[in-house]
Amino acid sequence: MQLVCISRGSYGCGKAFAERLAHHLGCRCIGREELLEQATLSGIAAGKLELACVRGALNERMLLEREHYQAFVISYLAEAALAGPLVYHGLCGQWLFKGISHVLRVRVEADLETRIQSVQEKLGLDRDKAEQYIEEVDQDRQTWARTFYDANWLQPRGYDFCLSLERTNADHLAAAFCSIVKLPEFQETPESRQGLRDLLLANQCRLALARDARTRNASFQVQADDGIVSVSYRQREAAEAITPILTSIPGVRQVVCTSAATRILWIQEHFDPSDETFQYVVDLANQWKAAVELLRFRASEESSFVMQTTLGKAAALDDAPGGIQEDLPAERSPSQLDKGGMEETFRELVRLGKAGGRTLFQGTAKNLLTVVQGTANYSLVVIGPVFLDQSNAARARLSQQLSASLREHLGLPVLQAGEIKERFSSRKLSATLRRFLLRCLAVPWFVHLRRRLSIF
């Protein structure tokens, strides 16, 4: 099953290309305009939200409306994609399906002269005003993409293919591109279909919370993993209503609720709740009132395998798509596939009230950003032991490179597990020394000695 996301500019023939491609493939075609209309009909102020984004006036209410809109759009498209092959054309469709491996990401653009002529014909503007109009619309769309997904929608590295209509028309290019769409790399697998189901369920849950009066005005991070839904929230007054609302949704087997103002992302190859790093991370989470999100990263030079991915992440570092390991049995669930201690660690986080979700990722370090970059509310990234199949020197070098890349592209503090241990050890030593000195000051002999020394 194909899932093609086409990014297009204003009057750049991208819509025509998408419609002709869908016609050749015999599948459904959905455009951004349809999403805006359907979101408005569902009660989401999509028009006001778009205007607020362009003007840079996202207040607290509009930020919440952004959550609702994103949840609606992802639910709408994920449901359509599960029903059959789909071509979507808009601005940032590829970032709506983060972690879904078979998504084909395409950028379509016509040359400037063609766009100017199109604006002149349709809007009746002279050449100078038509060119100015295109510049302003492109800038507005760039602002929209940056505000919603923290990504530059014009960068080629976010796409699998960048197509130009300068020397051909939309129909001819669409007919030729059908062979690309049918390549094995862009076909649905059982694992990527499960990822779509998880994506749909998570956003259905988020929409249910948005539509209930008890939770309508609260902000949530929602994640689904094979029927287990993890919800992070800030407003405690909405906590009691979360589970009753979500358990009525088909497909929800368990609801895990965590009160958190932010999240700590913990990346590691093997987890162990009895390891001292676990306690250090939990201590940090307690201090910051944060949830801990686990990401088991297994480095591989081959295409990436994402069992389940967190919402709110943005563009890829490079233009290599995530792939799926074909040899994994379709009937096995994510919990059965996990052998790295993530299940035990997640259960312990649930017990402590600090669970923020879990993700299994196998692939290159560069493709790791397809899962972690974007709008998730992180305050810190912790990197534990990774690249375990490498030598000690290579492991240290690759870990530092991974830290630097995440720090650069996320704009967040990134710490190695060893750095946390050192800081906590120093802090514990200082606290121990301080307590010792205070006890000394209270004993009679020290008081007497201090008085005697004050004579000199």
Among 159, 186, 213, the domain-final residue is 186
State how many domains the chain has: 2
Residue 174 tokens read as 């669409």
Phi and psi torsions of 119, nearest 5°: -65, -40
Q: Is the whole model's pTM more than 0.75, yes or no?
A: no
Instruction: Using DSSP, state whether 345 is helix, strand or coil.
Output: helix
Question: Which residue among 186, 219, 243 closes a domain?
Answer: 186
Rounded CA-CA distance 195/280 in Å is: 31
Are residues 61 and 174 part of one domain?
A: yes
Q: What are phi and psi of 184, to 5 degrees?
A: -60, -30
Q: Whole-angstrom Cα distance, residue 152 to residue 222?
A: 25
Please give the residue range of the domain that contains residue 320: 262-456
Summarised one tens digit per residue, pLDDT across range 77-127 is: 999 999 999 999 988 778 888 778 899 999 998 888 889 999 998 899 999
pLDDT band for position 427 (cuts 50, 70, 90): low
List the CATH number of the domain containing 318. Answer: 3.40.50.620
Question: Residue 50 has which token pair?
Answer: 């778009």
Based on the domain organization, do 150 and 298 belong to the same domain? Answer: no
Q: How does pLDDT run across 214-270, given as a tens digit for each residue?
A: 999 998 989 898 899 989 887 777 888 999 999 999 999 999 888 887 889 999 999
Do residue 269 and residue 175 come from a single domain?
no
DSSP secondary structure string, 132-182? HHHHHHHHHHHHHHHHHHSS-TT-GGG-SEEEE-SSS-HHHHHHHHHHHHT
Please say which residue of 137, 158, 186 terminates a domain.
186
With respect to residue 206, please indicate whether it lies within any of the assigned structural domains.
no
Same domain for 162 and 275, yes or no, is no
Residue 17 falls inside a structural domain: yes
Rounded to the nearest angstrom, the gap between the alpha carbon of residue 29 and the centroid of all alpha carbons in its chain is 25
Residue 373 lies inside a defined structural domain of this protein = yes
Whether residue 16 is found in the same domain as residue 160: yes
Can you tell me which residue has the tokens 């710490």?
Answer: 415
> For 453, phi and psi rounded to 5 degrees?
-70, -25
**256 within some domain:** no
Q: What pLDDT band is residue 26 in, cutting at 50, 70 and 90?
A: very high
**Bridge partner list, 106:** 6, 161
Which pairing describes strands 228-233 and 220-225: parallel, antiparallel, or unpaired? antiparallel
Residue for token pair 């129909």: 171
CATH number, domain of 123, equals 3.40.50.300
Residues 54 and 167 reside in one and the same domain: yes
